[in-house]
Amino acid sequence: MKYCSTCGHPVEQRIPEGDNRHRYVCVSCETIHYQNPRIIAGTVPVWEGKILLCKRAIEPRYGYWTLPAGFMENAETTIEAAARETREEALAEVDIHGLFSIIDVPHINQVHMFYRATLIEGRFGAGEESLESRLFAVEDIPWNEISFPTVRKTLELFLEDMKAENYQVHLKDIRRPMSASGKA
């Protein structure tokens, strides 16, 4: 960030009085510009024991398989965001059964939330951000072509719960791997 969205003057990074973190602060009007994590909301849509995955038609990870999910918009709930993203990416309407996983990804300032869901009447397709969508039996999930660590972790947890016939809410985090120097 270089300029204040309130007055257009330059900003600088400093710790504002009463705070404990560096923030962008306008040098003219003193507006503090907070930057907070972004929420990704999606579903684990199931139909007759199979899981719906979408092949990404956008970067990052073009051509890789993912659960239908995306950035939450203002003025919507996480459930509304998850349902909207499923509709946009998989042309699918779903019954949402409850929160399944919350995965913090602090090194990219994101929180990923996935809900358990059932396809309504088994209908789906490929939206603008998907090359295709497909129902996968557990044994056919393309593990080497999964788009993101949060999707992989959610699928692994889902399959464990499916096998146990006991769905829980899972709280996890995925942190950036350590470099050879030991720094994150």
111: which strand partners? 39, 104
CB contact at 8 A, 73 and 83? no
Sketch the domain layout of the chain as residue ranges. Answer: 1-35, 38-173
- Using CB atoms within 10 A of its CB, is residue 177 exposed (0-12), middle (13-18) or buried (19+)? exposed
Give CATH for domain 1-35: 2.20.70.10
pLDDT of residue 163: 96
| Pairwise CA distance, residues 155 & 157, whole Å | 5
Residue with structure tokens 């090359």?
131
pLDDT of residue 176: 77
**What does the longest C-alpha to C-alpha distance in the chain come to?**
60
Confidence (pLDDT) at 127: 97
pTM for this predicted structure: 0.89
Query: So what's the pLDDT on residue 48?
Result: 98
- Say what the pLDDT of residue 181 is: 44
User: In the Cβ-directed half-sphere of 95, how many Cα atoms lie within 13 Å?
Assistant: 7
Indicate the SS3 state at residue 182: coil
At residue 20's C-alpha, the angle toward residues 18 and 22, to 5°, is 110
Cis peptide preceding 142, ω within 30 of 0: no
Beta bridge partners of 96: 117
Among candidate residues 125, 146, 139, the one with its CA nearest the CA of residue 67:
146
Tens place of pLDDT per residue across the chain (184 aa): 999 999 999 999 999 999 999 999 999 999 999 999 999 999 999 999 999 999 999 999 999 999 999 999 999 999 999 999 999 999 999 999 999 999 999 999 999 999 999 999 999 999 999 999 999 999 999 999 999 999 999 999 999 999 999 999 999 999 976 445 444 4
pLDDT at 182: 42
CATH code matching the domain that covers 38-173, chosen among 3.30.1490.20, 3.90.79.10, 2.40.160.60, 3.40.50.1580: 3.90.79.10
